[in-house]
Structure 1
């Protein structure tokens, strides 16, 4: 008679050391949006022109929807293809933090916006064609793609598609506006950097097991997907940023991060844009150093449950 048993996870027997390293990195970086002093930005918010307020609302509404997609559909899709119990544990951590990221935007909305404005933000996110298109493209891969295709979609979401929204708070941070809001976003960016690098690492393991012809096929599929997403992202960016005149700068930022996503997958960059081409105000904001710290509540970009070093690009060069 065959006996089926449940197997306890054993962290003393690690099959892939990157599972352990990433889990420890993510738990060290743990944070909660409710402890960030966003209310201190109310004065800055009231001084923003209405077109810029609407821009902030929309980019955060879009980010909320994409984080929700990743937490509800994306991680479940990746978990089905996990090779080890430890990989599942890492994905569980990522799933929780994607939910916390989505909640963090609601915390910002509840501080800066009226109930009516919040309702309008979520209605816009449901109705915007470009936002819905990129979510649909990614989710269709989550539902029907191969294990490697799902990893590509996840990395493109985490390392590329979020960044049209991240540009705005980083830009304001460089101009010493909405500093506490930007600190929340910097914590999210630090998480997403780890998520994209880890899932990209898992892609590279699977990729190396393919035949040469299979490698060429997945590479071709990946670049075609990126073209498709980029074309839509350009239209999304134009619809958001044309009114404030930042569109071309944001497009450069998009191309730079598209290259970073490809690098997470171990593939060659597609666009000529480098960090030197990105608005220096914004590229400086990608640093995860603490810009504001509340010593009474131990809140700020340095707020963590344990001491955490700043994330460096080389931390996740697997």
Structure 2
């Protein structure tokens, strides 16, 4: 009779990697739900936007919905195939759930601001836009066919770089004191993504540092080639998305800045010359991951008060 395989209970009192525990605690402190944000309070602002502005906002969130769907349905499952610790799986489970919360949050915004016909048009556009489909399929192919390290790179590029063509819009309106509750949802999502990208980047660095010099060089070449390819596609997507505005170049600057942040998460050198000083200061002010105070039970204010959560800063990307 074959000997049964031993199944191990997870033991949070015996931590192999303290980053797992610290990340779990940070993520659970940050827990939030879209249903607690009073998006309907933004209806007056919404009605004052032009039709072109409303189109951009709706389609921005359509694209973000697709990427968060990819991350929740394929991304985290892919990363779970190559974990180092049991606690890492628990952290990835948490991330996977919150990615689903993020995707649902956009539907909360749609159902509040848009008509059923508008929502149908947004999803039709999202599911057929060639640039949006290209990046989703590019990342998804890596999730299903890439090496463990390549999957982590794809995840960090998605969370810390590709989302930001969409994040620009609500942060811009927030800086102009418009759609503040919609923007609060985005700030909560950015706060989550900041931790996700940092944590997965850290796990990448553990594996990358164990490679030989030749293997590191090949991995680095692959990584930068992927980023060049994704950025070239993102230029096309940004032109599609922002054709009705004058923001295209500002969005691309914001994207390049966040591409460098993604590389920082992965322990690599920046690719683009753009820094925070080059980004529209209104948007940079909005990107702060702190949120306004919000009473979880009574929907007062715009933020959450579920534990004291600090904003991420550049030092958080350094795990030496």
Deviations 1:50-70 (A, max 9, x none): 111000011100000000000
Offset of residue 308 of structure 1: 2.8
- The equivalent of 2:84 in structure 1 is 83
Deviations 1:110-163 (A, max 9, x none): 000111111111111111000000000000000100000000000000000000
2:182 matches 1:156: no
Structure 1: 5+ residue stretches without partners: none
- The equivalent of 2:131 in structure 1 is 130
Judged with a 3 Å threshold, the aligned counterparts in structure 2 of structure 1 residues 299 and 144 are, in CA distance, closer, same or farther, namely farther
* Alignment RMSD: 1.4
Greater CA drift, 288-297 or 245-254: 288-297
- The equivalent of 1:259 in structure 2 is 260
2:85 matches 1:53: no
- The equivalent of 1:276 in structure 2 is 277
Offset of residue 15 of structure 1: 0.7
Offset of residue 233 of structure 1: 0.2
Judged with a 3 Å threshold, the aligned counterparts in structure 2 of structure 1 residues 296 and 95 are, in CA distance, closer, same or farther, namely closer
- The equivalent of 2:24 in structure 1 is 23
- The equivalent of 2:166 in structure 1 is 165
Within 5 Å, which residues of 2 pair with 1:171-250?
Answer: 171-250=172-251
Q: TM-score w.r.t. structure 1 length?
A: 0.97
Judged with a 3 Å threshold, the aligned counterparts in structure 2 of structure 1 residues 316 and 298 are, in CA distance, closer, same or farther, namely farther
Q: TM-score w.r.t. structure 2 length?
A: 0.96
Contact 2:61 2:166 in 1 (8 A): yes
- The equivalent of 1:63 in structure 2 is 64
Structure 1 distance, partners of 2:313, 2:272, is 23
2:306 counterpart SS class: coil
Structure 2: 5+ residue stretches without partners: none
Aligned length, in residue pairs:
318
Offset of residue 302 of structure 1: 3.5
Greater CA drift, 47-56 or 3-12: 3-12
Structure 2 distance, partners of 1:239, 1:138, is 20
Offset of residue 182 of structure 1: 0.3
- The equivalent of 2:307 in structure 1 is 306
Offset of residue 2 of structure 1: 2.2
